[in-house]
Amino acid sequence: MEIYEQETKLYKSLMHPARLAILDLLREGEACVCHMEATFEYRQAYISQQLMVLRDAGLVEDRRDGLNIYYRVIRSEIFDVLDAMRKVTGIRTKAAKPKRNACTCPNCVGESVKPQLIQI
């Protein structure tokens, strides 16, 4: 039964709307916690709690860069699982984005700076 318990832990890690949304966001690459905060408008503690579950399940890992903590998916096979599940549900999702100027992470600030440079 132990082998099924390991499997169940993995399945359980997927059984939460916020965690599915986080995985969809991380499908596009790593993202910092502040980016998820700005995107989902959840408190940081809540997001960290959800990320902890995904990390315990071996799906994501974190990396600190200065004040930012970035998360990325280390088992990209999980996206095949989600895709297979969505064939059953017929639900299509796409990664959420933060409201304009809501996020100050290097990725978002970098993006908003680009068009200004083009204008100059």
CB of 85 to Zn ion, least distance (A): 27
Q: Does 40 bind Zn ion (CB under 5 A)?
A: no
Asked if 18 and 46 touch (Cβ cutoff 8 Å), the reply is yes
Pairing of strands 31-32, 60-65: unpaired
Segment contacting Zn ion (CB under 5 A): 12-20, 47-55, 86-94, 99-107? 99-107
Q: Which is nearer to Zn ion, 78 or 98 (CB)?
A: 98
Q: Does 35 bind Zn ion (CB under 5 A)?
A: yes
Q: Does 22 bind Zn ion (CB under 5 A)?
A: no
Q: What is the DSSP string of 21-52?
A: HHHHHHTTS-EEHHHHHHHH---HHHHHHHHH
Segment contacting Zn ion (CB under 5 A): 8-16, 17-25, 62-70, 108-116? 108-116
The set of residues, in sequence order, having a beta carbon less than 8 Å from that of 82 and lying 6+ positions away, is 14, 20, 23, 24
Binding site for Zn ion (CB under 5 A): 35, 103, 105, 108
